[in-house]
């Protein structure tokens, strides 16, 4: 701890975002950058707690508390304060393969459990982490480091999202020959197509990192859907590789409106259809600096009244993307109540703080249209459509949550609140129900009640010898940082399986 009084003297100050109205004119990342002196000052706020919770990575009340990959946060905060950026980088790399990803898209459960947060705003851990790795790229410290020796073992990684990439990176470090199979036309999985460019730049961040992995010896095979008939069958995969890591994600979308009248109207799409199409169009046309709808975009929000059903990061991303298209209006419907402005008594530190906040998309909508686009405690009763089957509006009503005689909490409609909102594009951001089943069935894997692949955390073995599962495919929809945790752990256990012992963390 370089400055014992740092947290008493320095106020929390996060990296500024670009002006909301200005950034709506392009698809570039929304963040500006601190200068080194400002970041060092923020690092000085770390208290060197006797018992720090920021790197615990435990689960409290069903949510992450502290960093799931156990980043050595007090240590790199202190190193940044001292100006030892390269040492901070190596401390960060001990636990995190891809801080340029987590530093941009992680919701930062570390900050929610920061001890300083009990009495003051927490340390800007996420900003500091991202700045360490950005500093490293700018100074040429990130260079390919292929392993000195190869083991002769071959491992297939199916899926190139954060779990697959971290598994591949660790297995390659151990000296195994790693091939990553990706069904999309570009590697990156969720990082490439599930998160918009304004949160995570695809060329400058994702593709750049994958390029380093390729230079280190990892092979990427795109356009290959393992589990469907084609050149790469499951049998061939098992014949040609000594082990297989399944990191296919949980990409089967929830559809709670499947029986809702009008669900078949043209103009209703799952959020990922919309977001993936947008990013693909941007990449195909190299138009991150362009304005409006990217060329070749099949689903457009331009000049439409858009309604996003569902909250969370995906709902926010739909709001931000619709605004950049030039929508006429955007509304976000949530069935849950508005969170409180401060922690409720039943949500104590160090649990993740369930409090009201404006994410980047809501901030942009408020600046453009004058109000937070979210409406809480609302249920959709019907999708309205015209004679040609096109969506024209949503019939909604307010609800309240009540306990039934059987003890179950259920939504109850508030009489007299039914109304119709104009809508020509509805985006369903309702989460995911589990992995798609082609791969699961072809490998003959057991699943749990939620259709996730059965494999224990920290072990990752499926019921099929030599086949492992990690990430959202095993644990269900979760955070990027949990996927990295699982990919690293899966690599460790595969290395142990192949070699008898392992030195991987």
Q: Flag whether 207 is in a domain.
A: yes
Q: Flag whether 143 is in a domain.
A: no
Find the CATH number of the domain harbouring 16.
Answer: 1.10.1060.10
User: Which range, 57-61, 432-436, 492-496, has the best average confidence (pLDDT)?
Assistant: 492-496
Containing 58, the helix (H) or strand (E) segment is: strand 58-60
Cis peptide before 406 (omega within 30 of 0): no
Residue 235, helix vs strand vs coil: helix
Q: What are 131-171's pLDDT values in tens digits?
A: 999 999 999 999 999 999 999 999 999 999 999 999 999 99
**Structure confidence at residue 399 (pLDDT):** 97
The residue among 414, 430, 446 that closes a domain is 430
What is the C-alpha separation between 189 and 410, in angstroms, rounded? Answer: 36
What is the C-alpha separation between 330 and 350, in angstroms, rounded? Answer: 34
Q: Flag whether 231 is in a domain.
A: yes
Question: In 361-492, where do the E strands start and end?
Answer: 374-375, 378-385, 391-403, 409-413, 419-422, 425-428, 432-434, 467-469
Q: What is the mean pLDDT of residues 28-47?
A: 91
Q: Are residue 237 and residue 315 in the same domain, yes or no?
A: no
Non-local CB neighbours of 318 within 8 Å, separated by 6+ positions: 271, 274, 275, 306, 308, 361, 427, 429
Q: Are residue 160 and residue 119 in the same domain, yes or no?
A: no
What is the C-alpha separation between 320 and 310, in angstroms, rounded? Answer: 14
Q: Flag whether 505 is in a domain.
A: no
pLDDT at 1 over 70: no
Per-residue pLDDT band at 360 (split at 50, 70, 90): very high
The residue among 108, 138, 168 that closes a domain is 138
Number of domains in the chain: 3
C-alpha R_g of the chain: 23
Q: Are residue 211 and residue 64 in the same domain, yes or no?
A: no
Q: Are residue 246 and residue 268 in the same domain, yes or no?
A: no
Q: Are residue 50 and residue 117 in the same domain, yes or no?
A: yes
Q: Flag whether 1 is in a domain.
A: no
Q: Flag whether 195 is in a domain.
A: yes
Q: Which residue has the tokens 């951001």?
A: 429
pTM of the prediction?
Answer: 0.95
**Structure confidence at residue 253 (pLDDT):** 94
Q: Are residue 183 and residue 316 in the same domain, yes or no?
A: no
Residue 500, helix vs strand vs coil: coil
**Cβ 425 vs Cβ 271: under 8 Å:** no
**Structure confidence at residue 7 (pLDDT):** 92
The residue among 79, 103, 138 that closes a domain is 138
pLDDT at 262 over 80: yes
Nearest Cα neighbor of 316 from 332, 292, 303, 334 is 332
Cis peptide before 147 (omega within 30 of 0): no
Q: What are 68-81's pLDDT values in tens digits?
A: 999 999 999 999 99
Full residue range of the structural domain in which residue 45 is found: 6-138
User: In the numeric block, which tokens belong to residue 245?
Assistant: 């890591």
Q: What are 158-206's pLDDT values in tens digits?
A: 999 999 999 999 999 999 999 999 999 999 999 999 999 999 999 999 9
What is the C-alpha separation between 182 and 189, in angstroms, rounded? Answer: 8
Q: Flag whether 144 is in a domain.
A: no
411: exposed, middle or buried (Cβ count in 10 Å: 0-12, 13-18, 19+): middle
Q: Are residue 96 and residue 20 in the same domain, yes or no?
A: yes
> Any idea which of 280-294, 366-380, 468-482 has the lowest mean pLDDT?
280-294
Containing 447, the helix (H) or strand (E) segment is: none
**Cβ 143 vs Cβ 215: under 8 Å:** no
User: In the numeric block, which tokens belong to residue 73?
Assistant: 């946060």
Q: Which residue has the tokens 């720090």?
A: 52
Q: Are residue 80 and residue 64 in the same domain, yes or no?
A: yes
Number of H helices, E strands in the chain: 17, 18
Q: Are residue 66 and residue 205 in the same domain, yes or no?
A: no
Q: Are residue 426 and residue 439 in the same domain, yes or no?
A: no
**Structure confidence at residue 288 (pLDDT):** 75
What is the C-alpha separation between 341 and 171, in angstroms, rounded? Answer: 44
User: In the numeric block, which tokens belong to residue 123?
Assistant: 């340390």
Q: Are residue 316 and residue 225 in the same domain, yes or no?
A: no
Q: Are residue 33 and residue 83 in the same domain, yes or no?
A: yes
What is the C-alpha separation between 501 and 490, in angstroms, rounded? Answer: 14
Q: Which residue has the tokens 């990959």?
A: 69
What are residue 115's phi and psi, to 5 degrees? -60, -35
Containing 19, the helix (H) or strand (E) segment is: none
User: In the numeric block, which tokens belong to residue 81?
Assistant: 């304060």
**Structure confidence at residue 3 (pLDDT):** 81
Q: Flag whether 92 is in a domain.
A: yes
Find the CATH number of the domain harbouring 170.
Answer: 3.50.50.60
């Amino acid at each position: 701890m370089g400055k014992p009084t740092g947290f008493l003297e320095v106020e929390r100050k996060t990296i500024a975002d670009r002006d909301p109205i200005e950034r709506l004119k392009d698809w570039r990342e929304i963040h500006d950058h601190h200068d080194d002196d400002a970041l060092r000052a923020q690092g000085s706020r770390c208290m060197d707690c006797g018992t720090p919770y920021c790197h615990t990575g435990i689960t409290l009340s069903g949510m992450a508390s502290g960093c799931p990959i156990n980043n050595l946060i007090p240590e790199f905060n202190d190193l940044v304060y001292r100006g030892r950026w390269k040492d901070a980088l190596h401390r960060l790399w001990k636990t995190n393969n891809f801080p340029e990803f987590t530093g941009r898209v992680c919701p930062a459960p570390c900050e929610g459990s920061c001890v300083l947060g009990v009495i003051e705003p927490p340390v800007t851990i996420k900003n500091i982490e991202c700045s360490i790795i950005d500093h490293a790229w700018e100074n040429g410290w990130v260079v390919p480091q292929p392993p000195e020796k190869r083991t002769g073992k071959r491992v297939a990684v199916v899926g190139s999202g954060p779990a697959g990439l971290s598994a591949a990176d660790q297995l390659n470090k151990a000296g195994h020959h790693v091939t990553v199979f990706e069904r999309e036309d570009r590697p990156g999985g969720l990082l490439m197509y599930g998160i918009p460019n304004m949160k995570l730049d695809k060329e400058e961040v994702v593709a750049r990192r994958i390029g380093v992995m390729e230079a280190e010896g990892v092979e990427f095979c795109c356009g290959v859907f393992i589990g469907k008939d084609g050149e790469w069958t499951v049998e061939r995969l098992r014949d040609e590789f000594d082990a297989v890591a399944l990191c296919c994600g949980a990409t089967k979308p929830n559809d709670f409106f499947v029986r809702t009248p009008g669900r078949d109207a043209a103009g209703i799409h799952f959020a990922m259809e919309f977001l993936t199409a947008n990013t693909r169009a941007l990449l195909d046309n190299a138009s991150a600096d362009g304005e409006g709808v990217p060329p070749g975009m099949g689903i457009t929000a331009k000049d439409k009244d858009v309604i996003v059903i569902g909250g969370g990061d995906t709902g926010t991303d739909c709001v931000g993307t619709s605004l950049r298209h030039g929508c006429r209006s955007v509304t976000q419907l949530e069935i849950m109540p508005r969170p409180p402005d401060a922690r409720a008594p039943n949500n104590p530190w160090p649990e993740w703080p369930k409090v009201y906040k404006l994410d980047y998309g809501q901030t942009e909508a408020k600046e453009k249209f004058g109000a937070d686009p979210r409406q809480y405690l609302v249920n959709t009763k019907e999708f309205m459509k015209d004679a040609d089957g096109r969506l024209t509006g949503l019939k909604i009503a307010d609800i309240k949550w009540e306990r039934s005689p059987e003890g179950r909490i259920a939504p109850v409609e508030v009489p007299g609140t039914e109304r119709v909102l104009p809508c020509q594009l509805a985006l369903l951001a309702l989460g995911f129900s589990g992995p798609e089943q082609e791969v699961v069935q072809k490998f003959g894997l057991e699943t749990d009640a939620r259709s996730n692949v059965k494999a224990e955390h920290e072990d990752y073995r499926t019921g099929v010898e030599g086949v492992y599962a990690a990430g959202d495919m095993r644990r269900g929809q979760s955070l990027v940082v949990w996927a990295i945790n699982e990919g690293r752990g899966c690599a460790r256990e595969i290395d142990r399986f192949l070699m008898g012992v392992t030195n991987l963390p």
